[in-house]
Chains A and B, each alone.
Chain A
Amino acid sequence: MAQAPALPRGFELPLEPRLPRIGSVDQVAVEERADALARRSIKRESKLFALELAVRMMDLTTLEGADTPGKIAALCSKAMRPDPSDLTVPPVAAVCVYPNLVPHALERLEGSGVKVASVATAFPSGQSPIEVKLEETARVAELGADEIDMVIDRGAFLSGNYARVYDEVRRVKEACGEARLKVILETGELGTYDNVRRASLLAIAGGADFVKTSTGKIQPAATLPVTLVMLEAIRDVHEETGRRIGMKPAGGIRTAKQAVQHLVLLHETLGPEWLTPDLFRFGASTLLNDVLLQIRKERTGRYQSPDYFTID
């Protein structure tokens, strides 16, 4: 297939032997395509399937300075049993917390199958020495987190120091041990879709198991076109190398409708094979209740009120 064409400056390093062409992304066209896909209308049965899938794909997240063990406890209850009045609603994929709260989450979730994800590497800015980031990663892994969400050094990326970005991802991946690595690109700071694609490929080359849009601290975060660009990068990597990389849009997805639109994008771009929590996650703090509300609406045929869903 395609040989890797001329790489941008800074890309001349021992990446994987085979990577898709880096190429570029046309803003207008990719936004139009995302917009067109967002207007697909799906069957009622498929909608229920999609909503439940969205629950199973959810990384229920709290990343606040004010997070406490109590808050984590509540979040974990919600994660395991999202809708106490409807036990057919499955648990979410994971809870995502700061490193200090990992032990509390682990304790609460034990035996539930819900995974614990922790951010690391000087989240959200990533502006710390690499040694500190590695130390933090190793520590979080040691604490027993199943998944680690790192941030790339956007400062390095935007100043053209791609090698440093790549190198950090590679070393953080090593420090993760058994934990799965999600690499946050913070797309809202990258400025162009070209950069989103470039950073996705860089992170994947460095060993990312997932690529993730955002920290949730910067707007814009996960938008449909950004997700589409990243899914296309994942698809190109799969076609070129056979590797299956996961995708996690995070931040800004607040409604069930948005979640379903993302799933339509996923389905159209990567096919049914990717419709699994192993390969797709939603990073969200407020999305879950709207999805629950819509599930109940689909089941009862009645429009719902938020009063009937717990705020945790």
Chain B
Amino acid sequence: MSRLPVKKTYKLYIGGAFPRSESGRSYEVEGANVARASRKDVRDAVRAAREALAKWGSLTAYNRGQVLYRVAEVLEGRRAQFAELTGSDEEVDAAVDRWVWYAGWSDKLAQVLGSSNPVAGPYFNFTIPEPTGVAGIVAPEEPALAGLVSRLAPAIVGGNTAVVVASERHPLAAVTLAEVLATSDVPGGVVNILTGRKDELTPVLAGHMDVNALDLAGVDGDREELERLAAENVKRVVRNGEGQSPWHAAAFLELKTVWHPIGV
């Protein structure tokens, strides 16, 4: 006799909690009713990301690396579930491996991207990378998990917090990743994941004055209007390519240069 399974409600992930959309809306996709976020959910997610920034950004790089590695561990533990969702073992493996790869970058970015600068005068001068702030990420439609990981991990490894608009057609992997994040050591608010209509959410995110960087990888159509909205507060529009690279992380970082006289 077959058992009736208990179905999961796929909700948003904001500030470490799993709320429904404040609008009460959902949409049917991948055989489930998935929350359909609203403008106000974007607002709440950005607020959560901003609140989480100070702590996440000032963790030691080593500590941030530990937290991210823990994510990979939990992700690996849910391998079967993700394989079922994505339909591809390879994609899950790639996602886990990529996550581990970026986790290891946390305490190397400053060494590779920073510098000490030999200025012509009695000054010590150095340049270090720092998080730019809140990153808005529009995740690629496919591959739903590996695509999201490839965009999210380089954004947060350097100390940024993120608001993600998940794949519209394949949101379940993103929501399940949220469960992974929530059950590992990532503080609430560091990653916020919204599901719903990209057309509706992306312009709100692009125009939000408290978002500092924008990765439009998952926007299939015209980006012109979105980039115009981004200009209103001089957002960094990230144009990272495929694959993995410390410079993908660098695209979400500011460079700060510090001068100090050398004297006795």
A contacting B, Cβ–Cβ less than 8 Å: yes
Determine if A29 and B264 form an interchain contact, defined as CB atoms under 8 angstroms apart.
Answer: no
Decide if A192 is an interface residue (CB 8 Å cutoff).
yes
Shortest distance between the CB of A225 and any CB in chain B (Å) = 11
| A window 176-216: CB within 8 A of B | 191-192
Size bracket of the A interface: under 10
- B123 beta carbon closer than 8 Å to chain A: yes
- A66 at interface by CB-CB < 8 Å: no
Task: Give the residue name and chain of the B residue nearest to A25 (CB).
Answer: B263
Q: Do A26 and B264 touch (CB < 8 A)?
A: no
Interface members, chain A 1-55 (any B CB < 8 Å): 26-29
CB contacts between A and B, total, < 8 Å: 15
Confirm or deny: B262 has a beta carbon within 8 angstroms of a beta carbon on chain A.
yes
A165–B263 CA distance with the chains assembled, in angstroms: 26
* Residues on the B chain within 8 Å of A28, using CB: 121-123, 261-263
| Chain B residue total in the interface (Cβ 8 A) | 7
Residues 89-141 (chain B) with a chain A CB within 8 angstroms: 121-123
Give the Cβ gap from A33 to chain B, nearest Cβ, in Å. Answer: 12
B134: min CB distance to chain A, Å: 38
Quick check: B263 and A191 within 8 Å, CB to CB? Answer: no
A192 and B263 CA atoms in complex are apart in Å by 9
Cα distance A26–B263 when bound, in Å? 7
Which residues of chain A have C-beta atoms less than 8 A from B262's C-beta?
28
Q: Tell me which residues across on chain B come within 8 A of A29, comparing CB atoms.
A: 261
Task: Give min CB distance, A228 to chain B, whole Å.
Answer: 14
- B139-170 vs A: 1/0 string, CB under 8 Å? 00000000000000000000000000000000
Interface string of B249-264 (1 = CB under 8 A from A): 0000000000001111
Q: Which residues of A contact B121 (CB under 8 A)?
A: 28
CA distance A192 to B264 in the complex (A): 6
Contacts of A26 in B (CB 8 A): 261, 263
Q: Quick one: closest B residue to A192, CB to CB?
A: B264
- Least CB distance from A224 to B in Å reads 16
CA distance A27 to B260 in the complex (A): 12
In chain A, what residue has the closest Cβ to B123? A28
A26–B264 Cα distance when bound, in Å, is 8
Q: Which of B121, B122, B263: most chain A CB closer than 10 A?
A: B263
Kindly report which residue of chain A lies nearest to residue B262, judged by CB atoms: A28
Residues in A whose Cβ lies below 8 Å from that of B264:
27, 191-192
A residues adjacent to B (C-beta < 8 A) = 26-29, 191-192
Q: What would 13 more interface pairs be, CB under 8 Å, given A27-B122, A28-B261?
A: A26-B261, A26-B263, A27-B261, A27-B263, A27-B264, A28-B121, A28-B122, A28-B123, A28-B262, A28-B263, A29-B261, A191-B264, A192-B264
Chain B positions near chain A (C-beta within 8 angstroms): 121-123, 261-264
Q: Can you list 15 A-B pairs, Cβ within 8 angstroms, ordered by A?
A: A26-B261, A26-B263, A27-B122, A27-B261, A27-B263, A27-B264, A28-B121, A28-B122, A28-B123, A28-B261, A28-B262, A28-B263, A29-B261, A191-B264, A192-B264
